[in-house]
């Protein structure tokens, strides 16, 4: 049981480039989320999804797009990378909201030059 | 802003109990209290959660105040592997409003 798998683990981009961070879960969870974590800080919610075809914005959505075509996958797209998007990105999944624990991936460390 | 308040850091000796406090004075009736921990270079790991009653699992215990405005995560015997940042978070049963603060950095001394 792999849980939540994120790829790649590390990435360096140049300003203006685009890329997709991949997230897959094998627990049949309907709820999935993307967070970013800046140095010394807690996680901030970027986008989330409550099921295939349904997505919504979180606290810091600007500069990011998401889609949810299957239950398993929830990719995060950076449209035009900026140095301010240098961060560690975490994907998480759960069976619901308050009464359910979230399962996190190991993160993608992204540097934008 | 995070809806919880935690000390920035705490220290413990190995094999001693650790009590990590959290204040959440604005908690609502639909908020569950969750605890996660994050080891260096890893994603957050779920520890425990509860609503009103105290909770126990294989990792820890959660003691919730009667008025629910504070809670305490209890590690019964700290090990070196418990050194991490511990986050206390309120998670509403109806939405994805789950805000992380800076957490408590726990150092365990041998």
Q: State pLDDT tens for residues B25-66.
A: 999 898 999 999 999 889 999 999 999 999 999 999 999 999
Burial label, B13 (beta-carbon count in 10 A; 0-12, 13-18, 19+)? exposed
Q: What is the pLDDT of residue A69?
A: 96
Q: CB distance from B53 to chain A under 8 Å?
A: no
The average pLDDT across A89-103 equals: 90
Residue A2 near chain B (CB below 8 Å): no
Closest CA to B49 of B4, B10, B8: B4
A102 and B44: CB-CB below 8 Å? yes
Q: Is the pLDDT of residue B12 over 70?
A: yes
C-alpha to C-alpha distances, B68 to A22, A29, A76, B27, B29, nearest whole angstrom? 38, 29, 36, 7, 9
Dist. CA B84–CA B108, nearest whole Å: 9
Taking CB atoms and an 8 Å cutoff, what residues of chain A touch B29? none
Q: Enumerate the residues of chain A whose CB falls inside 8 A of the CB of residue B102.
A: 40-42
Contact A43 B2 (CB under 8 A): no
pLDDT score at B98: 75
Interchain contact, A98 vs B99, CB within 8 Å:
no
- How high does pLDDT run on average in chain B? 92
Region B92-106 average pLDDT: 83
pLDDT at A1: 62
Task: Write the Ramachandran bin of A51: left for phi over 0, alpha for psi from -120 to 50, otherwise beta.
Answer: left
Task: Work out the pLDDT band at B92, boundaries 50, 70, 90.
Answer: confident
The pLDDT assigned to B2 comes to: 58
Query: For residue A83, what is the DSSP state?
Result: G
CB contact under 8 A, B100 and A48: no
Chain A contact set for B32 (CB, 8 A): 98-99
Model confidence over A31-77: pLDDT tens digits? Answer: 999 999 998 788 899 999 999 999 999 989 999 999 999 999 999 99
């Amino acid at each position: 049981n792999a849980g939540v798998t994120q790829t790649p683990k590390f990435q360096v981009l140049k300003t203006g480039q685009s890329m997709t961070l991949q997230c897959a879960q094998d627990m049949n969870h309907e709820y999935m989320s993307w967070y970013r974590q800046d140095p010394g800080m807690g996680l901030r919610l970027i986008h989330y999804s409550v099921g295939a075809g349904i997505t919504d914005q979180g606290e810091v959505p600007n500069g990011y797009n998401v889609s949810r075509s299957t239950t398993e996958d929830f990719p995060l797209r950076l449209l035009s990378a900026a140095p301010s998007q240098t961060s560690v990105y975490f994907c998480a999944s759960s069976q619901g909201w308050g009464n359910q624990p979230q399962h996190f991936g190991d993160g993608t460390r992204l540097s934008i030059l | 802003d995070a809806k919880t308040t935690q000390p920035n850091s705490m220290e413990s000796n190995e094999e001693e109990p650790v009590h990590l406090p959290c204040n959440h004075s604005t908690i609502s009736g639909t908020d569950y209290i969750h605890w996660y921990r994050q080891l260096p270079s890893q994603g957050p790991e779920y520890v425990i959660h509860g609503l009103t009653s105290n909770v126990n699992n294989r990792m820890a215990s959660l003691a919730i105040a009667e008025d629910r405005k504070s809670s305490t995560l209890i590690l019964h015997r700290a090990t070196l592997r418990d050194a991490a940042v511990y986050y206390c978070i309120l998670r509403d049963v109806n939405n994805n409003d789950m805000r992380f603060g800076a957490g408590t950095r726990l150092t365990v001394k041998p």
